Structure 1
Amino acid sequence: MGAGDVVWAVDRAVQDSKVYYDRPLEELLRIETQAKAEVGSRGGSRDALDAEVPIDVITAAQLQSTGQSSLQRALTMLVVGFNAPRPSIADGTDHAPPFTLRGLNPDQVLVLVNGKRLHQSSLLHNNGTVGRGSSGVDLDTIPLYAVERVEVLRDGAAAQYGSEAIAGILNIVLKGYGYGSHATVGAGRTTKGDGTQRHADVFLSQPLAGDGFLNLTAALHDRGPTNRAGPDPADGGRINTHFGDADTQDALLAIHGELPHGDVTPYFHVLHDTRRSSAGAFYRTANSDRNIPAIYPDGFLPLIEPKITDTTATGGVRGLWADGTRWDWSLTHGQNDYHFYVNHSLNRSMGASSPTSFDSGATRYTQQTLNGDISKRVGRHYWAGGVELRREHYRITPGEPASYRLGQDLPWYAGSQGFGGFSPENAVSATRDAYSLYGDWKYSLSERLSIDTAARAERYSDFGSTLNGKLALRYRANEDTLLRASASTGFRAPSLSQSHFSSTASYRDGDSLMTFGNYGVDHPVARALGATALKPEESQHLTVGIVLQPSSQLTASADVFWTDIADRILPTGYISAGSLQSLSPQAVEILRQHGVEGAVYFTNAIATRTRGIDLRLEYRQSLENSARLKWVGAYQYSKTAITQVNPAPSVLGVDMMDLILEPFVRVLIEGAQPRDAFKLWTQYSMRDVDVVLNLNRFGKYSSTANYDKVTFAARWTLDAEVAYRLAKDVTLAVGATNLFDAYPQAWGETGAKSVISSGDIVPYSQYAPFGYNGAYYYLRLTVGW
């Protein structure tokens, strides 16, 4: 086992004193020190439970006990308030599903790797899924077996870390010094006989001089598709649609190293993922006017099959001056390339000459970040500060002509079906720079009371400057009770994809050529229709909590939180004379002059308020015969409400409620994510056996059908794993996720029909928080050396 493995406590005095030299070896091996966290302060690692803000620490042992090879799915099972549905028939989102925290958006969570900002995906989630209109981080580009722990900061922290840190922060810490090498193979499948998963992971660790190390993780993951689609009555009752997980293969690599030399330590980490994935669009029946029977006599299912490559490389050096001042300089380069390919499809407008496979173009996002940090402890106090220079680049490259061209065969729509290609008119190359100056000061007024303050000034080349601050208080009322509170302002810069995304298509209307689709806010059509440069989302955050530690075995905490966000960015509804009956004559004329049937662009539309509570309970006990028991229970309730709707551009002649808040959008923001969640993770360890049970409750959530709100019932799931040590360094694990084969409530059980299906072809809502695969059983073998 590695240096991050769990060890167990004997008594409070031992843990508090941190002086172990006179204790017997067998007793030392049973001591569990508090989990350490780097995130939330620039003063270095500290006890997570003593922090001024709520921080959860998820260990490698917990992540691996979920039986998942995907980091995102493992966190879904362990972190309360972490929501990651598995959408289907949602274009690119099928292949890189987003995640959320505290019911907010994917782009309102900042992700760090070893404390360094991780870049977002270039994919803009542009369908009706959770996270619509955002670009988030793809966590599955990080090999699970490279991770030592995940620190979850549940607090606004933009004043410390910059844009996106509104809902919280995930800091993914890679394994460092002291881990042994090991290889892991695993396989499993669902009780329906599909969704077969296979993975092989190798972790190699080479100690270097002076507590240095070089770690390498390589992984191959093959996650087979699942399908829960129902029969299509329009096609003789056949199951012709794919509704389930995509068929995905990942090749992942992580390299992490440090080489201390006196008071100076060079360090680096590299992450790389290449993913191929396949999922279906809607089925085209044989007699559909979208089909060409000469090509597909029985109809066809277009397959969206992207190739995704993602790379992060960080290099830096940190050190300690003679006066105790710590410094750290680093440079991080990150890039995500999402290349769309469509197969088993056709361009209907090209007739029988249409190809059946298409290169539909690509999006790419690149980010370079230069950081310089400095900190010093002065008595009980410390101060820290730094600078950050960041450059971002977003690009759309066109597909091959057949993927977007409008042929002469019929008055029909242009491009490949399933996912129409980006045209040369959609090509984008947008860059911006951001410059930050920040400071963090902690004053320990006494051993019981400390005040932590932070401020950050940023300037962006595209929208201007922001200034944010944070104040946190920590008061230890007695040995067993810690009171904490924080108040902060924050922001999220509009993503380059929100400002510049463009995807349009054309069709023939008699002798006229008409265009429709999404336009960047600087496009002439969008500007004529009232679009303006996007402003940052601005937030105010408050957290008040208490931590109780009545013994070394038991810890409990409760934190109430409140987050207001102004100027949240959303895509408009479809701006056309047909969809907006009250559209002004001036706007109708603008559309006609540009040859546009309808348009969508992004705008600062609404304000929201999120309120909730986090509860956490941790208990551990040493039993007879070296057995150990640990419980970690957590509950979260959160509610988001729209509190303000900004005015719509006057040129449109419509109210913003009509432009933005069609019923499904309001439900998506206020009700699509579970209102509450509960998790109870239990580990019972004996000499050669570990038993893990993970009980989950996913609360109610809502969707819409025919403009009516539909609420789906809460569900319970139970995961279980038994791991047996066959030899000193050989462990075999058998387990199940969703052991009792629970499914989310179906559309039919609510009396409604799916909004994306006229019948029961799509039986479940895409918002279902634990998917709709049913039970999954697996085996895993780990060999160490």
Structure 2
Amino acid sequence: MKRLLCLLPLWTACAAALADPPAPRNDWYELPLDELVRVQIPPQADVGSRDGTHSALDAIVPTDVYTAEQLQSVGPGGLAQALAALVPGFNYPRPSIADGTDHAPPFTLRSLNPDQVLVLVNGKRLHQSALLHTNGTIGRGSSGADLNTIPLLAVERVEVLRDGAAAQYGSDAIAGIINIVLKGYGHASQAQLGWGRTTAGDGLQRQAAVFHSTPLAGDGFINLTAELRDRGATNRAGPDALDGGRINTHFGDADTQDAVLAWSAEVPRGDTSLYAHGHVNRRNSSAGAFFRRADDERNLPQIYPQGFLPRIEPRITDFATTLGAKGTSDSGTEWDLAYTGGFNDFHFYVANSLNRSLGVSSPTAFDSGATSLAQHTISADLRRNFGPHTLSGGYEYRVENYRIRQGEPASWQLGADSAWYPGAQGFGGFAPENEANAWRRSHALYLDLKYALAPQLVLNAATRAERYSDFGSTLNGKLALRLRPAEHWLLRTSVSSGFRAPSLAQSHFTSTAMVRDGDDILQYGSYGVDHPVARALGATDLKPENSRHFTLGAVWQPTPQLTASVDGFVTDISDRIMATGYIAGWNLAQLSPQAQAILQQNHVDGATYFTNAVGTRTRGLDLRLDYKQELPQGRRWHVSAAFQHAATRITQVNRAPAVLGVDMTDLILDPYTRVTMESGQPRSAFKLWTQYSTPRYDLAFNLSRFGSYASTYGATEVTFGARWTLDAQFSYHWNKNTTLTVGGTNVLNARPAQWGATDDALTGAGKIIPYSQYAPFGYNGAAYYVRLGVRF
């Protein structure tokens, strides 16, 4: 609160220099009722500017809006799948055999990392998952928000800001912002029942959801959404020639059950409104690790005579809530005071497994421990209009807590019966020395000014200062300019700096396993940067990733029905945080004798930790077109086309710690890591969504092109070609309250190229695991679904 009081003199000084506010516009009140009911308001967005909602022709930075109608028209999956179908540059691979990542796959925007996208719900920060992606997937070394914890039926629209915005909203907003706007006042209550499966016969999906809205006086409301989702596993693994041709591996979607409750409410009290929103999600999931054949030395035939497939079965709890009050003072200043809390708990369980080192007395199911993340934010925001100008400011205080909890002893301990295989196979448990309980606090002050230099020329200036308890302070700024040279044209540009605070998981994640080597017991694994082993090997406290952004674009809107835009962008990021490769003599040939002595003294065979490693530049181009047409007899046609090209390249490599005796390229940029960062995601994407509506039925198509991408098999880089997919949906309105929907996703049954189909030298890779983990639309093939919707 003291920091907010320090802001008030600056607020007063800026406010005194601005003009008096004008009277609000009342144009719509002049329309007759028969015309008013046919008015289609252009999509409005809140994110990107703090002067209120704005349409495409007013947006000072590029922002897209996706309506509930669009999100519901592309299949029965969750919110992440819907955005992947509609948003170019939104990449959502579905990896398999990747530990926890199978159960909460990360998404990316503009080919950057999951933790470089800020996710908001009704403008308030959504916490990230406690899961740190440590396997060979897109998003390795990062944590991101889990969008599928929010039920689609609760969502009114999703706003996607395609510009750096950390100077306005704080850490993480480097690739952009996704703002999920929940349904508010005036929405009808409804229920849905859905069923679907793939044409291959697996992946059964069952869904039941209810949205109930209770209107209150003064445009108040209480909205509740409950949803149950049951998604069966898919499997695209091939036969194992060394196991009699059996398909013994699971390579596909996890078997997942979600139970979700979401709420949103607003209660007016005179000039003040009390509001709340949030959700709680409980997910049980199950997916396979690598199969152990019967004659594998990791197996005990007395327990598994046919071999075994370990199952990783986490139980994930996700909770978020916002409580706040907002209003307008007598002077016309709008204020908003809110608390936002979030919690994610990722508890690992392993089934159908064993601890080989315990021999035949080993259990076959294990509690392997958990990671959790809690986040608490208090924010105070002020906004005042002065004629055509707007001044905003505020203060934010945030507390974060990251924990690692140990698993049961059998999940991590090294017994006497084996030289090499301790702990639960599939996912070894967290040991007592891996436990962590890390805290961080931050304070932030911001100012945001929209100033009309002329009726056609608007300047937006923003600055934000933050101080973190673990790494210090940051100061970032943004300047954006909007020019309307003609009635139907808008030119815009922006330049800004930004940052991403290192996550507590990157700083403190520790996971080790013991190995018996004769009479010695060695360890290998990942260490937090403050761990004695990591410190001795040159680890230092992580610094924030710093970014610089430039955008330049234009919007053309010749009629209210047609909008087209083009925007180019450049994003430079320095000190990107990455995990080292294994620091060990067997992995780094030039490792110094001093570093090898440190490993031996600590009985460590190989160690990794996170470090600020490289700088990158991402260049891209966005094209958008949206057209709506009202037709006779209540018919409508809506088409939306979008294209994005984004390419990232490494521009700088930092120095490695001198104690290691190697350079950062050897320590960090093995062929796999370089390919993942520069070409592991499609550089281009095209989306064409169209819907034809009548009073009796709706027909929607969604055509997508996923550009080429690369992956590695061993040290070999393999490029996979572009693919087209098509989704189709038909909805029949039995009456004004009942709708039957049938549809299909990827109806042309497109599959990504297989390993063996791209290079004869890799034919062996395509026998058991035929597809790359990086495939941007998965590998399930075609699926179909039916859904019944009822309004009440």
**TM-score of the aligned structures, taking structure 2 as reference length:** 0.96
Of 415, 423, 426, the match for 1:418 = 426
Matched, 1:297 2:297: no
The residue that corresponds to 1:560 in the other structure is 568
Matched, 1:377 2:385: yes
Looking at structure 2, the residues matched to 68 and 300 of structure 1 have their Cα atoms a distance apart, in angstroms, of 33
One-letter amino acid matched to 1:345: S
One-letter amino acid matched to 2:700: V
The superposition leaves residues 98-143 of structure 1 with CA deviations (integer Å, 9 ceiling, x where unpaired) of 0000000000000000100000000000001000000000111111
Mind listing any 5+ residue stretches in structure 2 that lack a counterpart?
Answer: 1-24
In the TM superposition, 1:81-230 aligns within 5 A as 81-230=89-238
Task: Determine if contact 1:753/1:759 at 8 Å carries over to the other structure.
Answer: no
Matched, 1:783 2:777: no
The residue that corresponds to 1:714 in the other structure is 722
Looking at structure 1, the residues matched to 627 and 427 of structure 2 have their Cα atoms a distance apart, in angstroms, of 51
Matched, 1:448 2:456: yes
In the TM superposition, 1:535-554 aligns within 5 A as 535-554=543-562
Matched, 1:744 2:752: yes
Shift in Å, 1:464? 0.3
The residue that corresponds to 2:10 in the other structure is none
Of 486, 492, 497, the match for 2:505 = 497
One-letter amino acid matched to 1:130: I
Shift in Å, 1:299? 0.2
Mind listing any 5+ residue stretches in structure 1 that lack a counterpart?
Answer: 1-16
The residue that corresponds to 2:41 in the other structure is 33
The superposition leaves residues 498-540 of structure 1 with CA deviations (integer Å, 9 ceiling, x where unpaired) of 0000000001000000000000000000000000000000000
The residue that corresponds to 1:764 in the other structure is 771
Task: Determine if contact 2:755/2:766 at 8 Å carries over to the other structure.
Answer: no
Matched, 1:732 2:740: yes
Of 282, 286, 298, the match for 1:278 = 286
Task: Determine if contact 2:756/2:765 at 8 Å carries over to the other structure.
Answer: no
Task: Determine if contact 1:214/1:258 at 8 Å carries over to the other structure.
Answer: yes
One-letter amino acid matched to 1:626: G
Looking at structure 2, the residues matched to 226 and 348 of structure 1 have their Cα atoms a distance apart, in angstroms, of 29
One-letter amino acid matched to 1:482: L
Shift in Å, 1:68? 2.2
One-letter amino acid matched to 1:534: L
Aligned residue for 1:171, secondary structure, equals strand
The residue that corresponds to 2:253 in the other structure is 245
Shift in Å, 1:686? 1.1
**TM-score of the aligned structures, taking structure 1 as reference length:** 0.97
Shift in Å, 1:46? 2.1
One-letter amino acid matched to 2:645: Y
Shift in Å, 1:395? 0.2
Aligned residue for 2:677, secondary structure, equals helix
Task: Determine if contact 1:753/1:760 at 8 Å carries over to the other structure.
Answer: no
Aligned residue for 2:268, secondary structure, equals coil
One-letter amino acid matched to 1:555: T
Task: Determine if contact 2:615/2:653 at 8 Å carries over to the other structure.
Answer: yes
One-letter amino acid matched to 1:394: Y
Looking at structure 2, the residues matched to 447 and 689 of structure 1 have their Cα atoms a distance apart, in angstroms, of 44
Aligned residue for 1:592, secondary structure, equals helix
Shift in Å, 1:150? 0.4
Of 443, 462, 465, the match for 1:435 = 443
Q: Structure 1 vs Structure 2: percent identity of aligned residues?
A: 63
Task: Determine if contact 2:231/2:256 at 8 Å carries over to the other structure.
Answer: yes
Matched, 1:648 2:645: no
Shift in Å, 1:687? 1.5
Matched, 1:325 2:333: yes
Matched, 1:699 2:710: no
Aligned residue for 2:581, secondary structure, equals coil
Task: Determine if contact 1:69/1:199 at 8 Å carries over to the other structure.
Answer: no
Aligned residue for 1:614, secondary structure, equals strand
Change (3 A) 1:735 1:200: same
Looking at structure 1, the residues matched to 43 and 736 of structure 2 have their Cα atoms a distance apart, in angstroms, of 26
Task: Determine if contact 1:586/1:651 at 8 Å carries over to the other structure.
Answer: yes
Matched, 1:56 2:64: yes
Task: Determine if contact 2:76/2:194 at 8 Å carries over to the other structure.
Answer: no
The superposition leaves residues 241-266 of structure 1 with CA deviations (integer Å, 9 ceiling, x where unpaired) of 00000000000010110001111001
Of 312, 316, 326, the match for 1:308 = 316
Looking at structure 2, the residues matched to 766 and 411 of structure 1 have their Cα atoms a distance apart, in angstroms, of 32
Of 237, 242, 256, the match for 1:234 = 242
The residue that corresponds to 1:676 in the other structure is 684
Task: Determine if contact 2:76/2:785 at 8 Å carries over to the other structure.
Answer: no
Looking at structure 1, the residues matched to 98 and 375 of structure 2 have their Cα atoms a distance apart, in angstroms, of 26
Looking at structure 2, the residues matched to 342 and 713 of structure 1 have their Cα atoms a distance apart, in angstroms, of 36
Shift in Å, 1:759? 5.3
Task: Determine if contact 2:523/2:605 at 8 Å carries over to the other structure.
Answer: yes
The superposition leaves residues 72-113 of structure 1 with CA deviations (integer Å, 9 ceiling, x where unpaired) of 001100111100000000000000000000000000000000
One-letter amino acid matched to 1:276: N
Matched, 1:660 2:668: yes
Of 728, 731, 738, the match for 1:723 = 731
Shift in Å, 1:400? 0.1
The residue that corresponds to 2:268 in the other structure is 260
Of 581, 584, 588, the match for 1:580 = 588
Shift in Å, 1:621? 1.2
Looking at structure 2, the residues matched to 626 and 437 of structure 1 have their Cα atoms a distance apart, in angstroms, of 50
One-letter amino acid matched to 1:763: P
Looking at structure 2, the residues matched to 18 and 749 of structure 1 have their Cα atoms a distance apart, in angstroms, of 63
The residue that corresponds to 1:360 in the other structure is 368
Change (3 A) 1:621 1:648: same
One-letter amino acid matched to 1:715: R
Task: Determine if contact 1:88/1:243 at 8 Å carries over to the other structure.
Answer: yes
Looking at structure 1, the residues matched to 460 and 785 of structure 2 have their Cα atoms a distance apart, in angstroms, of 46
The residue that corresponds to 1:8 in the other structure is none
Matched, 1:389 2:415: no
The residue that corresponds to 2:344 in the other structure is 336
Aligned residue for 2:168, secondary structure, equals helix
The residue that corresponds to 1:774 in the other structure is 781
Looking at structure 2, the residues matched to 728 and 655 of structure 1 have their Cα atoms a distance apart, in angstroms, of 67
One-letter amino acid matched to 2:591: L
The superposition leaves residues 187-221 of structure 1 with CA deviations (integer Å, 9 ceiling, x where unpaired) of 10000000010000000000011111000000000
Task: Determine if contact 2:310/2:425 at 8 Å carries over to the other structure.
Answer: yes
Of 515, 520, 540, the match for 2:523 = 515
Moved more, 211-220 or 621-630: 621-630
Task: Determine if contact 1:69/1:221 at 8 Å carries over to the other structure.
Answer: no
Task: Determine if contact 2:128/2:344 at 8 Å carries over to the other structure.
Answer: yes
Aligned residue for 2:454, secondary structure, equals coil
Change (3 A) 1:554 1:27: same
Shift in Å, 1:553? 2.0
In the TM superposition, 1:581-596 aligns within 5 A as 581-596=589-604
Task: Determine if contact 2:298/2:421 at 8 Å carries over to the other structure.
Answer: no
One-letter amino acid matched to 1:776: A
Looking at structure 2, the residues matched to 48 and 307 of structure 1 have their Cα atoms a distance apart, in angstroms, of 42
Task: Determine if contact 1:754/1:765 at 8 Å carries over to the other structure.
Answer: no
The residue that corresponds to 1:600 in the other structure is 608
Task: Determine if contact 1:741/1:775 at 8 Å carries over to the other structure.
Answer: yes
Shift in Å, 1:752? 5.7
Task: Determine if contact 2:57/2:557 at 8 Å carries over to the other structure.
Answer: no
Aligned residue for 1:80, secondary structure, equals coil
The residue that corresponds to 2:5 in the other structure is none
Task: Determine if contact 1:232/1:759 at 8 Å carries over to the other structure.
Answer: no
The residue that corresponds to 1:9 in the other structure is none
Task: Determine if contact 1:705/1:752 at 8 Å carries over to the other structure.
Answer: no
